[in-house]
Structure 1
Amino acid sequence: MKSFGSVAFGAALVVAAFSGAPAFAQTKIAIGCTATTDCASAAVALEDGIFKKNGLDAELVLIGLNSNIPAALLSDSIQIGGPTPSVFLQAADGGLDLVAVAGASSTAKSTVDSAAVVTPAGSAVKDAKDFEGKKVGAPGIGAFLHVLFSQWLIDKGVDPKKVNFVEVTFPTMNDVLKSGAVDAVVTAEPMLSRIVGSGTGTVAGYYLESIPDGRPQILYASTRSWADANPEALTAFRASIDEAAKIVNADPEKAKGAISRFTKIPLDVLSKMKLSVSDPKIEAEQLEWWVGVMDRQDMLQLKPDAANLIQK
């Protein structure tokens, strides 16, 4: 006669087989992102059980500065991170063996007002030339917002080297601007709406206006060694992000709820803003555009091979 435990175990296997759920332990991954809307696909994939359905035991880790993500990947405190292309390319240029594994968000004309340089209410800073000699806070030196704001200055005839950039995390931007510790902050949603809505600052310029569509804002990356050692987990991650990206773009209100719970930014702030376009694609041509932008700002020692930096 079979014991009750044996019968129960057998029944559990049958249920697992017919439910489509993994019968055994799932692959654990920690995914690190900063407090922006760009990792909405990961937030939705976690909340909707998409990662779990695809065999991943995933968690989201909030990272203060985007420039800290490569170090977090190397230390294995996270296995996948959401760096900006510029942070990713600088890390690779510096010898870190990282690879892009999927896209997170990309530029679009409909979302150019989702990032801006913001000055304190009543500031005399009105145009690009006024930023010379000023202290400007950015959420990561060399990250997406810093690089594209610098490009905006160049396009308007201002040398970004004449601006004093300092790193300021997204969650502290409102207080830092209010205190007068900086003359401006280079920010993005959802922090942009929060700063303007509180009356702390006003928009001095939308510097994404001249950027072509379809350029990555945030990409998902890992170490090459982790990607090579975990092909099944990587396939599951990509499938999850692809499914979740469709949900984000079709149902932004649902995505805002997931972002709010991850970043702890109030939903009433998020409800007033646009989400970045969720785009799971990442191709060499997209990274090559970024290499060109960064090369013009003397940010790279070498010229990275964009195709070699994308995990197949």
Structure 2
Amino acid sequence: MAALLMLAAGCGTAQEAPSGAKGGLEQVTIAAPPAAGSLSVIVGIKKGIFKRNGLNVKWVSSGNLSVLAPSLGRQFDLVTSSPVELILARSRGLDLVAVQGSRREVADDPLVSVVAAPDSGITSMKNLEGRTVGSPDVASTLALALKGALKNAGAKPDDVDLKQVNFPDGPNQLKAGQVDAVVTTEPFATLMESAGGVKVGSVIMDAFPHQSSVALVTWAATKGWADDHPETLKKLAKANSEINDWIKGHEGEVRQLMVSELHLPESVAAGVPIPVVDPSLGVKDFEPWLELVGALDALHGRSVPSAKELLGVPQ
């Protein structure tokens, strides 16, 4: 999503060659953000899980899919994306597909939220009417989910002024009064709450109140790369299943990685929800998003792709 913009400190560079052999391992270059949702990549590299599965994974800085799409298959192989970004890309004729799930937003412990300024008087989604809200994207995943959440809360989405504010800039923009609230994720939500910010909604789950979990982050590739690398995708799926198991059993070490790799204060890392990593991905994961995109006319008359067109893995 457009929110995935921070530079990955200590990562590989975007100029490194994508898929190839190195030391007997298959090299795969992944563009992913240094935020809580990227812990699976961090764990896989730091704990040698990718290498145990025959992969030498390099982590590069990331941006949104529309910016990165031309470089897929050349500067890197995979990019973290979202169902909405893929829907938008396919509707514009880009031959991109989701090849694996990465992170799910869960109702019991959501990561994406709206945090309002301490003195804004905003205590609910309904209160956002007539206000300026910062969001890392203003026409993609988070913006559409916010509009869905506002609609469900009885608010008028068009009465909210959306301003593009990337995750890292949210705390300063909120403090400076440039926005009344921001759409954010961890660790930034916890940082803003510790400074008096008020969490007023969970955005994704508020947009889909009848879902217990929603696919939020996927790994995307060109369809050509996906078709040419079925064995690589099997290795990645196996590695990510092992990563998820490791994360579940090593919460303390996961939080240490948040401090060492994401540079969070220990007090913040201690309270950040642990992301749910799930490499599985199917038609059903795109259906809620396709319904939301249609309800909000987000494609502006362009053809709506089918869920099957969005998937680059056999079902």
Is the shorter-chain TM-score for this pair beyond 0.5, marking a shared fold? yes
Tell me the amino acid that sits aligned with residue 247 of structure 1: W
SS in 1 for 2:219: strand
Conserved 8 A contact 1:70-1:83 = no
CA distance in 2, matches of 1:261, 1:84: 27
Conserved 8 A contact 2:91-2:304 = yes
| Stretches of structure 1 lacking an aligned partner (at least 5 in a row) | 1-21
What's 1:16 paired with? none
Once the two structures are superposed, the pairs formed by residues 37-76 of structure 1 within 5 Å of their partners are 37-63=36-62, 65=63, 68-76=64-72
CA distance in 1, matches of 2:139, 2:33: 15
Number of aligned positions between the proteins: 286
More divergent stretch after superposition (280-289 vs 47-56) = 47-56
* Corresponding residue to 2:95 among 81, 93, 97: 97
Aligned in 2, Cα 1:141/1:258: closer, same or farther, shift over 3 Å? farther
SS in 1 for 2:297: coil
Tell me the alpha carbon deviations over residues 156-212 of structure 1, each in whole angstroms, 9 at most, x when there is no partner.
Answer: 22221221212211111111111111111011221110111133x221233325251
Once the two structures are superposed, the pairs formed by residues 195-234 of structure 1 within 5 Å of their partners are 195-199=192-196, 201-207=197-203, 208-209=205-206, 210-234=209-233
What's 1:242 paired with? 241
What's 1:153 paired with? 150
Conserved 8 A contact 1:43-1:259 = no
Provide the TM-score with structure 1 as the length reference. Answer: 0.83
Aligned in 2, Cα 1:141/1:83: closer, same or farther, shift over 3 Å? farther
SS in 2 for 1:51: helix
- The answer to whether structure 1 residue 194 and structure 2 residue 194 are counterparts is no
What's 2:104 paired with? 106
SS in 1 for 2:178: coil
Once the two structures are superposed, the pairs formed by residues 31-42 of structure 1 within 5 Å of their partners are 31-42=30-41
SS in 2 for 1:38: helix
| Stretches of structure 2 lacking an aligned partner (at least 5 in a row) | 1-20
CA distance in 1, matches of 2:260, 2:293: 34
What's 1:123 paired with? 120
Aligned in 2, Cα 1:91/1:205: closer, same or farther, shift over 3 Å? same
What's 2:135 paired with? 138
Aligned in 2, Cα 1:237/1:83: closer, same or farther, shift over 3 Å? same
What's 1:310 paired with? 311
Tell me the alpha carbon deviations over residues 131-151 of structure 1, each in whole angstroms, 9 at most, x when there is no partner.
Answer: 223221112234433222211
SS in 1 for 2:138: coil
Conserved 8 A contact 1:138-1:165 = yes
CA distance in 1, matches of 2:58, 2:284: 31
Q: State the structure with more CA Rg.
A: 1
Q: How many Å apart are 1:33 and its aligned residue?
A: 2.1
Aligned in 2, Cα 1:124/1:283: closer, same or farther, shift over 3 Å? same
Q: How many Å apart are 1:260 and its aligned residue?
A: 4.2
Identity %: 26
CA RMSD in angstroms comes to 2.2
Conserved 8 A contact 2:31-2:78 = yes
